[in-house]
């Protein structure tokens, strides 16, 4: 093992020690298990691809820039890599879980949607070789930085600035497509550009926190597969010009003149704790849902969750009183919390299914979410679920 002096008096072990430790930790945690991916995690210098990161100053729209220490670069942490939250490098455990699920074999051609820092592309290059890896990102600055940094550490995938909605037709077909930004429905271009028998691993999110990873098998006329047993999530695919601030939920003006006030005993107001239920509810909620938490100020825990829809419907759900009931205020054309309550009742009747019981079938003209088997369709994903 090489030892390097980073600054006078400070003896720092080589980065490979950190990379090996991260591979071991991910293996112990059950997020990494095959020898080729373990070797890739040990070999790719993540700190070279994420030399700096950004943090939002709590309660403000300001971002601060900080150098990434070796400890941080090789921890299971997602880091914003552009100010305004336009890109992040995802948690290594999420990436390795996805790479394992992708079931790649020698000579497979892989398209990565959302190249970001290039870390995932570097892992793919280590596994498959540069000529088999294609990655796109909307952000030209990122693509340029990733290309330079990857070249410096010896990787040369095909990196292109492009909008993921179109895929990357010039190098298709691919054996595998892996998306590291979420979409409300699978762009048909991804299906079209995947070889029959190939796999598409995507994150379907109807709104923030309401969806999950789905592994689709390319069939003769589309793609079909099941959602992942474990939750995983990415930032949403965005259009050019859209920023983190502009895509954040807005509290719409609430007309309180016709507010309905009632109580509810349902305890599911945090979507991240009940992701299946919130996904199902979003199949029935009106379009343009925003979710947020509010309270007295940023130094105390939130006291109220709120939901609003593009049609002006909104609801507020207070934290429970000591007897377990919550005060609910609702107004507008749709009773949003009522829809969540009805979905919860349906989910109980379905025997409380987890993610693994849900699937998705994609054809040219429809995307159907089903329970247990493709003919048991629950709902179609439609344009109203698309933010684009």
Ligand X SMILES: C[S@@+](CC[C@H](N)C(=O)[O-])C[C@H]1O[C@@H](n2cnc3c(N)ncnc32)[C@H](O)[C@@H]1O
User: How many CB atoms sit inside 10 A of residue 15's CB?
Assistant: 17
Residue 98: CB minimum distance to ligand X, A: 9
Residue 75: CB minimum distance to ligand X, A: 15
Question: Is residue 204 within 8 Å of residue 223, measured between CB atoms?
Answer: no
Where residue 202 falls (left for φ over 0; alpha for ψ -120 to 50; beta otherwise) is beta
Give the tokens for residue 201.
Answer: 């691993």
Q: Which of 70, 164, 223, 276 binds ligand X (CB under 6 A)?
A: 164
Q: For the chain, what is the total number of helices (H) and then of strands (E)? A: 11, 21
54 binds ligand X (CB under 6 A): no
- Among positions 139-158, residues that touch ligand X (CB under 6 A) are 139, 142
d(CA 114, CA 246): 19
Look at the block and give the residue holding tokens 């980065």: 15
280 binds ligand X (CB under 6 A): no
Question: Is residue 116 within 8 Å of residue 89, measured between CB atoms?
Answer: yes
Nearer to ligand X, 130 or 341 (CB): 130
x/- mask, ligand X, residues 102-141, rule CB under 6 A, reads ------------x-xx-xx---------------xxxx--
Q: Which of 237, 277, 336, 381 binds ligand X (CB under 6 A)?
A: 237
Residue 241: CB minimum distance to ligand X, A: 11
Q: Which of 68, 87, 308, 343 binds ligand X (CB under 6 A)?
A: 87
Residue 345: CB minimum distance to ligand X, A: 35
167 binds ligand X (CB under 6 A): no
The catalytic residues are: 90
Number of Cα atoms under 13 Å in the Cβ half of residue 289:
29
x/- mask, ligand X, residues 194-233, rule CB under 6 A, reads ----------------------------------------
Nearer to ligand X, 23 or 142 (CB): 142
79 binds ligand X (CB under 6 A): no
Q: Which of 70, 124, 159, 181 binds ligand X (CB under 6 A)?
A: 181
User: How many CB atoms sit inside 10 A of residue 172's CB?
Assistant: 17
Residue 183: CB minimum distance to ligand X, A: 9
d(CA 123, CA 356): 27
91 binds ligand X (CB under 6 A): no
Give the tokens for residue 65.
Answer: 């820039």
Chain-centre distance for alpha carbon 94: 9
d(CA 41, CA 51): 17
Nearer to ligand X, 109 or 182 (CB): 182
Question: Is residue 120 within 8 Å of residue 46, measured between CB atoms?
Answer: no
* Rounded-to-5 percentages of helix, strand, coil across the chain: 30, 30, 40
Residue 201: CB minimum distance to ligand X, A: 12
Which residues of the chain form contacts with ligand X (CB under 6 A)? Answer: 86-90, 114, 116-117, 119-120, 136-139, 142, 163-165, 180-181, 234-235, 237-238
């Amino acid at each position: 093992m090489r030892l390097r002096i980073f600054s006078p008096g400070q003896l720092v072990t080589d980065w490979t020690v950190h990379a090996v430790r991260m591979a071991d930790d991910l293996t112990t945690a059950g997020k990494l298990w095959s020898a080729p991916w373990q070797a890739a995690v040990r070999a790719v210098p993540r700190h070279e691809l994420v030399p700096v990161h950004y943090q939002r100053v709590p309660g403000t729209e300001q971002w601060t820039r900080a150098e990434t220490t070796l400890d941080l670069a090789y921890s299971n942490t997602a880091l914003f890599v552009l100010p305004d939250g336009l890109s992040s490098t995802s948690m290594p455990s999420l990436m390795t879980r996805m790479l394992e699920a992708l079931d790649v074999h020698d000579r497979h051609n892989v398209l990565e949607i959302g190249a970001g820092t290039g870390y995932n592309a570097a892992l793919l290059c280590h596994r498959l070789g540069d000529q088999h890896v294609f990655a796109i990102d909307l952000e030209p600055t990122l693509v340029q930085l990733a290309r330079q940094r990857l070249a410096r550490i010896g990787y040369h995938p095909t990196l292109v600035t492009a909008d993921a909605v179109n895929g990357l037709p010039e190098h298709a077909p691919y054996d595998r497509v892996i998306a590291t930004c979420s979409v409300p429905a699978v762009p048909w271009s991804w299906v079209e550009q995947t070889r029959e028998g190939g796999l598409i691993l995507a994150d379907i999110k109807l709104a923030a926190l309401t969806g999950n990873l789905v592994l689709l098998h390319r069939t003769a006329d589309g793609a079909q597969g099941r959602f992942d047993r474990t939750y995983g999530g990415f930032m949403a695919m965005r259009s050019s010009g859209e920023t983190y601030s502009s895509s954040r939920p807005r509290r719409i003006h609430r007309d309180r003149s016709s507010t309905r006030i009632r109580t509810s005993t349902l305890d599911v107001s945090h979507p991240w704790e009940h992701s299946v239920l919130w996904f199902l509810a979003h199949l029935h909620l009106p379009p343009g849902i925003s979710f947020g938490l509010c309270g007295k100020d940023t130094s105390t825990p939130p006291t109220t969750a709120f939901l609003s829809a593009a049609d002006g419907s909104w609801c507020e759900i207070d934290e429970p009183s000591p007897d377990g009931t919550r005060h609910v205020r609702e107004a507008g054309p749709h009773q949003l919390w009522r829809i969540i309550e009805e979905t919860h009742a349906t989910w109980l009747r379905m025997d409380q299914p987890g993610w693994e019981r849900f699937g998705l079938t994609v054809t040219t003209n429809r995307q159907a979410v089903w329970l247990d088997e493709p003919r048991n369709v629950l709902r179609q994903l439609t344009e109203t679920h698309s933010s684009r």
